[in-house]
Amino acid sequence: MKPQLSDKWALITGASSGIGEEFANQLAAKGMHLILTARREDRLQQLAEKLFQLHGTKTVVIPADLIQPEGVEKLIKEIRSLPDPVTLVVNNAGFGEVSSIENSDLQKLIDIVQVNISVVTRLTYEFLPEMMARNDGGVINVSSVTAFQPVPYMGVYSASKAYVLHLSEALWAELYESDVRITALCPGPTKTEFFDKAGATSWLSKNFAHTSSQVVSKALQYYESSHPFCIPGIKNWLLALVTKFGRRRRVVWEARKVFHKLAKEKQTEKVD
């Protein structure tokens, strides 16, 4: 049975652009009210105004920097002050970095762990117990197709997304006999700001990528059907499958060929 989403509240992290913004669009179209958080308050406000005009969506905007632990605490405190419970958590906030070991920004790598792992864990476990008590609600954790294999030059990012996938699958099994759902979304390349922020500015121009609309539509379909994970696109699904049956050394070496070139290009851009 599909979950009832209309007139209930969803929390979306990283809602100011890309996949997070598209989750807001599609959930509002299903009648949900939204708690939107990201660092860019102006974008969140613009999105809230658009969704109200299109769907009459009630929206609470909570600007927060989730890299900072105090930002996470601020977010939770403000959510707890609201009169209605959170029925759906979309843990979308996250980022990556393409770099060689010697050119890595150590603080940025630590920040990736904070947002991609610590924040996901905190918000998932913050709201799941009350959903279980109501036997209603769920979580969509945005992972990545890189969760299925190590990725050289993006080692911390791919490892963090493997954590998100494994956590989500484990919780899905724990929740199996309830009406509470959890799904890990594992997209491949998607037309968002991700690659620019990761330092791989040329990636989207040279490779196929899905739109955010395609990715989110598939994610909601899988969530409503209570699937543990969603890999949008047959090519991405096959890629994840191949990594399961290939020799681990060969799999990681093939990934190295791709991302070694990206890391080189990034370093050249810095020098220029």
Q: Could you identify the residue written with the tokens 């096959």?
A: 238
Residue 74: closest CA among 37, 21, 49: 37
Return d(Cα 9, Cα 5) in angstroms, integer. Answer: 8
- 125: annotated active-site residue: no
Pick the catalytic residue from 125, 153, 157, 176.
157
Cα dihedral 122, 124, 129, 135, rounded to 10, equals 170
Q: How many helices (H) and strands (E) does the chain have?
A: 11, 7
Tokens of 10: 């969803």
Map residue 60 onto helix, strand or coil. strand
The count of other CB atoms within 10 Å of the CB of residue 39 is: 15
Return d(Cα 31, Cα 215) in angstroms, integer. Answer: 19
Q: Is the dihedral of CA 208, 209, 213, 216 positive or negative?
A: positive
Q: Could you identify the residue written with the tokens 């600007």?
A: 63
Q: Which residues are catalytic?
A: 157
